[in-house]
């Protein structure tokens, strides 16, 4: 957020608009005095749509397409959430170990204010997205143009609030109490203190409720690609927010509305198709640039997950033995979404076979410079919605245990596994939910890390993890607030024990 505050005078419009994939400025606006010239930016529907497309481009590609291959470790919405959550939990380990100090503190749960540059990148990139969303909300409200129809104003405002809620979801789960920036006015944001988590969750839910009511069911893209969110993406994220806050009744209701739209959404029967550009399971995907020569047509996360040379070079982010052991024999997800490499290369690498996430097949080893993307970065998908409803139903939501088991069997059967018994009790069903979430959503957006915390299993699981010994304290459930933010805004406070 400090970056947003610092840049409002100097380049506020750039933080909103970013760059399109072709590296062209979306909208030219006058230099702002102390805020963006909102009324002039949003004089037409085309300009407003270009502005929000620029927010998505920056979320996945960074400020310019030339740095896109690095975004996996710089942007919360380009791969960093997956890396942070995977290393903080018992999901991934960094093959480089102590040789990569920027990740070692995360992987061993020994973060300090001195080795937290990667979490701070998540903070900065999330607040950049929030700034862009707020700019659109304020720009639409300020515009007096007759060319901006009321229906467009309503839909784009809802879309911007979806982006704001999405960004705050990751901030509150990574950092706990965080400032609620609801404007681009520097005079306000420069003095914000941290809001309690329940207030952050209220904003997330309120924004998503409005978004789900004002966004269209159809995807607002000319091709129908799911690279901008729609009503059902908002409902899916709303269902997740209800689950996280223990509102199981509303979680079931929101999830069911998504699941019932079978004309538009279905689980892909072929697991190799789930993360492709035309996936029927996708609720929302982020479109990476097609103009970055070095990215090779890969998503930023797919790029960094792959070894340099398949099968013989080390992969940086490897599956932990405990995660590998969670997959049942015959689970097609292990076959389709996990790959391996033999690290015995003669270059002083640790010998032996390691396993790495391979949900994205295009990466630094397999991509071709100049190729068009065949995969988009999956932000929300239908399988998670089934798992949300299963957990909420098992916890007392509509449908109860029977619905929970049915939803779990949808996920299991797609993975080639047998159905669960209809006679399972609540505790057994919730254990099955946790297991399926772990094997279905592994290496996706930090799900495992958030699950361990929200279900209060973090201490029991991680305090006994060999990689995280000695366990220095449960306070590492949240990351430290960036020191630069605190030094700039004395209203901010640090998380305890950092």
Neighbouring-strand partners of residue 354: 341
Assign residue 417 a region (left: φ > 0; alpha: ψ between -120 and 50; beta: otherwise): beta
Q: What angle do CA 311, 317, 323 make, to 5 degrees?
A: 95
Mean pLDDT of the chain: 90
Residue with tokens 């975004």: 71
Cα distance between residue 465 and residue 453, in whole Å: 15
Q: Where are the alpha helices (DSSP H) in 38-116?
A: 38-41, 45-61, 81-88, 101-107
Question: Please, are residues 179 and 492 in contact by the beta-carbon 8 Å criterion?
Answer: yes
- Residue 388 DSSP SS3: helix
Beta-bridge partner residues of 381: 282
Tokens coding 262 = 């079978």
Confidence of residue 63 (pLDDT cuts 50, 70, 90): confident
Name residues whose C-beta falls within 8 Å of residue 17's C-beta, 6 or more positions apart in sequence: 25, 26, 27, 29, 50, 51, 54
pLDDT tens digits, 389-401: 999 999 999 999 9
- The CA–CA distances, whole Å, from 160 to 15, 42, 52, 168, 258 equal 14, 14, 7, 12, 20
Give the position of tokens 């001195």: 114
Per-residue pLDDT tens over the stretch 296-347: 999 999 999 999 999 988 999 999 999 999 999 999 999 999 999 997 765 5
Q: What is the pLDDT of residues 138-190, one digit of tens each?
A: 999 999 999 999 999 999 999 999 999 999 999 999 999 999 999 999 899 99
Task: Evaluate if residue 366 carries a pLDDT over 90.
Answer: yes
Q: Residue 92's pLDDT is what? A: 98
Q: Please give the domain boundaries of the chain with CATH numbers for all domains.
A: 1-215 (1.25.40.390), 230-261+381-464 (1.25.40.900), 300-375 (no CATH)
Cα–Cα distance, 200 to 176 (Å, whole number):
9
For the stretch 112-147, pLDDT in tens is 999 999 999 999 999 999 999 999 999 999 999 999
Provide the token pair at 485: 């933010």
Length of the chain: 498
Per-residue pLDDT at 36 exceeds 80: no
Q: Report residue 357: phi and psi, to 5°.
A: -65, 135
| CA 422-414-434 angle, 5° bins | 60
Average pLDDT over residues 18-47: 47
Predicted local distance difference test score (pLDDT) of residue 348: 53
Average pLDDT, integer, range 342-353: 70
Phi-psi region of 399 (alpha: psi -120 to 50; beta: other; left: phi over 0): left
Residue 16 has pLDDT above 90, yes or no: no
Is the pLDDT assigned to residue 402 strictly greater than 90?
yes
Residue with tokens 């010239």: 37
Distance CA 168, CA 122 (A): 11
pLDDT at 13: 34
pTM above 0.75, yes or no: yes
- Name the burial class of residue 327, with classes exposed (0-12), middle (13-18) and buried (19+) by CB atoms within 10 angstroms of its CB: buried
Q: Provide the 8-state DSSP code for 339.
A: E
Per the DSSP assignment, residues forming a β-bridge with 93 are 318
pLDDT of residue 66: 62
All residues at 6 or more sequence positions from 182 whose CB lies less than 8 Å from its CB, including other chains? 134, 203
What's the pLDDT at 347?
Answer: 58
Nearest to 36 by CA among 141, 126, 171: 141
| pLDDT band, residue 352 (cuts 50/70/90) | confident
Q: How far is CA 73 from CA 80, 136, 156, 187, 428, in A?
A: 5, 27, 29, 31, 37
Question: How many C-beta atoms lie closer than 10 Å to residue 467's C-beta?
Answer: 15
What band does 69 get if pLDDT is binned at 50, 70 and 90? confident
**Phi-psi domain of 444 (left: phi exceeds 0; alpha: psi -120 through 50; beta: other):** beta
> Phi, psi at residue 182, to the nearest 5°?
-115, 15
430-469 confidence digits (pLDDT tens):
999 999 999 999 999 999 999 999 999 999 999 999 999 9
Predicted pLDDT of residue 40: 53
- Report CA torsion sign: 193, 189, 51, 11: negative
Rounded to 5 degrees, what are φ and ψ at 125? -70, -35
395 touches 356 (CB < 8 A):
no
Distance of CA 335 to the CA centre of its chain: 24
98 pLDDT more than 50: yes
User: Is the pLDDT assigned to residue 1 strictly greater than 50?
Assistant: no
């Amino acid at each position: 957020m400090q970056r947003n505050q610092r840049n409002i005078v100097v380049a506020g419009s750039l933080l909103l608009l970013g760059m399109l994939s072709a590296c062209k400025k979306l909208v030219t606006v006058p230099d702002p005095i102390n805020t963006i010239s909102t009324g002039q930016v949003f004089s037409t529907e085309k300009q407003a749509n270009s502005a929000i497309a620029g927010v998505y481009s920056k979320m996945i590609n960074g400020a310019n397409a030339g740095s896109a291959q690095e975004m996996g470790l710089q942007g919360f919405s380009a791969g960093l959430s997956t890396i942070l959550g995977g290393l903080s939990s018992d999901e991934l380990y960094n093959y480089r170990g102590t040789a990569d100090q920027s990740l070692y503190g995360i992987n061993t749960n020994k973060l300090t204010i001195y080795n937290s540059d990667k979490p701070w990148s998540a903070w900065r990139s999330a607040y950049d997205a929030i700034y862009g969303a707020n700019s659109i909300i304020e720009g639409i409200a300020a515009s007096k143009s007759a060319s901006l129809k009321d229906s467009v104003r309503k839909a784009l405002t809802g879309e911007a609030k979806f982006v704001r809620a999405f960004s705050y979801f990751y901030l509150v789960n990574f950092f706990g109490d965080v400032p609620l920036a609801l404007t681009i006015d520097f005079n306000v944001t420069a003095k914000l203190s941290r809001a309690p988590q329940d207030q952050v969750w209220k904003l997330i839910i309120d924004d998503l409720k409005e978004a789900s009511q004002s966004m269209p069911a159809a995807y607002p893209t000319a091709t129908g690609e799911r690279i901008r969110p729609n009503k059902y993406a908002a409902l899916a994220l709303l269902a997740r927010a209800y689950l996280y806050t223990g509102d199981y009744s509303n979680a079931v209701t929101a999830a069911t509305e998504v699941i019932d739209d079978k004309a538009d959404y279905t689980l892909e029967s072929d697991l190799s198709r789930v993360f492709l550009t035309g996936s029927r399971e996708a609720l929302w995907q982020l479109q990476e640039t097609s103009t970055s020569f070095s990215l090779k047509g890969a998503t930023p996360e797919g790029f960094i997950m792959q070894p340099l040379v398949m099968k013989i070079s080390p992969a940086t982010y490897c599956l932990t033995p405990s995660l590998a052991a969670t997959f049942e024999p015959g689970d097609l997800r292990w076959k389709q979404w996990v790959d391996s490499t033999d690290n015995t290369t003669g270059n002083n690498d640790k010998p032996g076979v390691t396993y790495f996430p391979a949900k994205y097949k295009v990466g630094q080893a397999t991509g071709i410079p100049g190729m068009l993307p065949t995969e988009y970065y999956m932000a929300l998908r239908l399988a998670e919605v089934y798992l949300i409803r299963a957990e909420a139903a098992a916890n007392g939501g509509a449908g109860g245990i029977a619905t929970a088991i049915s939803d779990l069997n949808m996920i299991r059967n797609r993975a080639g596994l047998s159905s669960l018994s209809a006679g399972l009790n609540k505790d057994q069903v919730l254990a099955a939910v946790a297991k399926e979430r772990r094997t279905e959503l592994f290496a996706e957006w930090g799900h495992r890390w958030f699950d361990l915390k929200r279900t209060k299993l973090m201490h029991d699981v991680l305090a006994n993890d060999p990689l995280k010994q000695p366990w220095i304290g449960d306070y590492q459930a949240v990351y430290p607030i960036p020191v630069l933010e605190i030094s700039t805004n004395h209203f901010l406070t640090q998380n305890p024990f950092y």
